[in-house]
């Protein structure tokens, strides 16, 4: 499972893809949690871009729970963006929409969490970088 991530100022944007179920939730956990360690760049928060995520099971939600606890303990924020309808329904049923912040897309999440990160991303987009 490929999990891309990119740091904008004090926010890290992580982009998992596919199904976050028991077969690769372990990969997701191992990829995500080190990015949230103290000393990392996710000082203001982490944004999980779920546009490419087709499905998330309770095992996948558990990773979000751990990430949420980590971020809350540091007074940082955790946001999920770009939910597909099925994933949005799962978030609604499991009430994880109250555990993490939900935004329509990454710019909206960055704007809410850190203007610096939003600016960094906007500058990068203008330069054509990712």
Residue with tokens 């499905």: 55
- Residue 96 lies near another protein (rule: CB under 8 A): yes
Which of 44, 79, 99, 117 contacts another protein by CB under 8 A?
99
Render the burial of 96-122: b for 16+ CB within 10 Å, e for the rest.
Answer: beebbbbbeebbbbbeebbeebbebbe
Taking CB under 8 A as the binding criterion, the range among 7-15, 35-43, 64-72, 105-113 that sits at the site for another protein is 64-72
Taking CB under 8 A as the binding criterion, the range among 10-18, 34-42, 77-85, 95-103 that sits at the site for another protein is 95-103
**Close Cβ partners of 50 (under 8 Å, ≥ 6 residues apart):** 16, 56, 80, 81, 82, 83, 84, 87
- Residue 69 lies near another protein (rule: CB under 8 A): yes
- Residue 94 lies near another protein (rule: CB under 8 A): yes
- Residue 130 lies near another protein (rule: CB under 8 A): no
CA distances from 69 to 13, 59, 78 (A): 18, 16, 9
Residue with tokens 């929409």: 97
- Residue 45 lies near another protein (rule: CB under 8 A): no
- Residue 122 lies near another protein (rule: CB under 8 A): no
Closest CA to 25 of 51, 62, 54: 62
- Residue 61 lies near another protein (rule: CB under 8 A): yes
Task: Quote the least distance from Cβ 91 to another protein, whole Å.
Answer: 10
Which residues of the chain form contacts with another protein (CB under 8 A)? 57-59, 61-62, 65-66, 68-69, 93-96, 98-99
């Amino acid at each position: 499972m490929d999990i891309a991530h990119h740091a904008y100022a004090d926010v890290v944007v992580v982009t998992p893809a596919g199904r976050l179920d028991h077969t690769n939730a372990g990969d997701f956990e191992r990829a995500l949690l080190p990015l949230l360690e103290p000393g990392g760049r996710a000082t203001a928060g982490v944004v999980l871009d779920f546009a490419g995520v087709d499905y998330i099971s309770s095992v996948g939600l558990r990773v979000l729970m751990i990430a949420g606890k980590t971020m809350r303990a540091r007074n940082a924020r955790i946001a999920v963006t770009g939910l597909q309808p099925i994933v949005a329904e799962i978030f609604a049923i499991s009430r994880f929409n109250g555990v993490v912040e939900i935004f329509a897309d990454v710019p909206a999440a960055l704007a809410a969490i850190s203007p610096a990160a939003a600016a960094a991303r906007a500058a990068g987009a203008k330069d054509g970088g990712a």
